[in-house]
Structure 1
Amino acid sequence: GGEQQRVAIARALINDPLILLADEPTGNLDTKMRDDIIGLFCDLNEKGYTIVVATHDSEVSNRSKKIIRLKDGKIFDVEVG
């Protein structure tokens, strides 16, 4: 697992985007691969990329600089960490 996620991320980065959108990028991964993807996102963010991730994985959100929680399509909480 994880090869499709890595290929999708590589494809998304080809045009050097201002924002990278990722929908459940760690959803079907084992712990090691999940940590690798999170690490990749952290490295990209350090290089100046803005990364927006939709996730239900608390390990992903715990490593985020900002968490925006939605309920019924509306923002109900913003946490800056």
Structure 2
Amino acid sequence: MTPSLIAAALWAIAANLIALTPSRRGHWPAAWVLIATGIPLLGWVTWQNGPLIGFLVLAAGASVLRWPVIYLWRWLKRIARHLR
């Protein structure tokens, strides 16, 4: 197992532990930290293990951070609607 995959697994464990803790602000500050650390980590995983493993790690990260992905999708749809 490469160091990047170990780091990605630790990121996933940290994300799940954060999700288990109660939060008054709805976990958004933690989500921003996870996104900021996850993007370079995804690049590292893809660089070391190839695009297929990188895509699998991307899918795992998107399943953990599903609400930011949903809001991003809604925002992109709104922009596309205004461009028509």
Q: TM-score range by the shorter chain?
A: 0.3 to 0.5
Q: TM-score, normalised by structure 2?
A: 0.45
Q: Which has the higher contact order (CA 8 A, sep 6+)?
A: 2
Q: TM-score, normalised by structure 1?
A: 0.46
More strand by share: 1
Structure label with greater radius of gyration: 2
